Amino acid sequence: MRKKALGSTVVVVILALSGCSSSGSVGNGGSVTAEAASKADFCTLIIAFRKANETLGNDLLSPNTEQAKSAMKLLIGQLQTLLERAPADLKADIDVAQKFYVRFDALLATRDYDTSGISDDPKFEADITSLNSAEVTGALDRIAAYTTTDCVASATPAPTPTS
């Protein structure tokens, strides 16, 4: 049951971080401003992040501790890249998510990435639960909202003027 709680936390966070539409290509048939190009690049990046993370939830819960550790390091690296490229209005939220995963990684490292004994360790479960603060939840909600609205909007071609 406790392993299920960890799995739920991981899956919820991964889904929230990767909630962008997979149709996020950009093409308006004309020139693109630097800001629009940057936003399009970020949306493309977060879409790729989502695709790469489709299996991370399972990998983090893998009985193979090296697989779990590798998945966590990959996730943290991807979040760092997202943070470096995030638009100004989303940077703080990506930073909160990245810091959450760094703390989550440190917690898993205390168990050598072995999640098999979680059901026997109520303190470990409590530590995981304490990581998921209102600040983290709010940041993840804003990231999901951004990626499902702004990234989709940037992927929509601009209307072509008619003569």
- Give the pLDDT of the chain (163 residues) as one tens digit per residue: 444 445 445 544 554 454 433 333 333 444 445 565 577 888 888 877 777 776 677 788 788 999 989 989 988 998 899 999 898 889 999 999 899 989 999 998 988 998 777 777 888 888 888 888 899 999 988 888 888 888 875 554 444 444 4
Instruction: Report yes or no on 24 lying in a domain.
Output: no
Q: What is the pTM of this model?
A: 0.70
- The backbone torsions φ and ψ at residue 156, rounded to the nearest 5 degrees and listed phi first, read -80, 125
Instruction: Give the up-direction half-sphere exposure of residue 60: CA atoms within 13 A in the CB hemisphere.
Output: 28
Instruction: Report the alpha-carbon angle 63-66-59, nearest 5.
Output: 55
- The answer to whether 157 and 28 have CB atoms below 8 angstroms apart is yes
Could you tell me the residue range of the domain that residue 105 belongs to? 2-9+34-155
Instruction: Report yes or no on 69 lying in a domain.
Output: yes
Q: How many domains does the chain have?
A: 1
Instruction: Report yes or no on 21 lying in a domain.
Output: no
The span from the CA of 3 to the CA of 7, in Å, is 6
The span from the CA of 106 to the CA of 131, in Å, is 11
Q: Label residue 122 left, alpha or beta by phi (over 0 means left) and psi (-120 to 50 means alpha).
A: alpha
